[in-house]
Structure 1
């Protein structure tokens, strides 16, 4: 089965999450905006490929070097880093 979709989410706030795989279903990448919802079922390897492609794009535009973006990233990862040091 082949399908094609185009969603313009540039002007919306988007909720993005990955739901882990369950016994009878693969992991899902969920994108939700005010005017759309997309649920993509994928193997972990496919999700890793998607993540790698996004990271390559962000590195190519030097996204993480922009001060405002870096401070956002630092803030987002602070709770995770604190949790990892506690365990």
Structure 2
């Protein structure tokens, strides 16, 4: 995977896709944050990107998407409250 993630754009897209995929497949917001962030942290360090970049990407793709997934914790809560 290291030879494919050669620039900031590819790394950011991959982190976002991973966080989104975990949200959709598992429905767990915090697991998407932890797995994507910890897995790609060395890639961001190798590319010389500031840690706030991966934090922002994981937040945008992991936390914000979770309420849109009906089988996630947020989705179940929202659907029960709204009926």
Q: Using CA pairs under 8 Å that are at least 6 residues apart, name the structure with larger relative contact order, 1 or 2.
A: 2
Calculate the TM-score normalised by the size of structure 1. Answer: 0.26
Higher Cα radius of gyration: 1
User: Structure 2 length normalisation: TM-score?
Assistant: 0.27
* Structure with the higher fraction of residues in strand conformation: 1
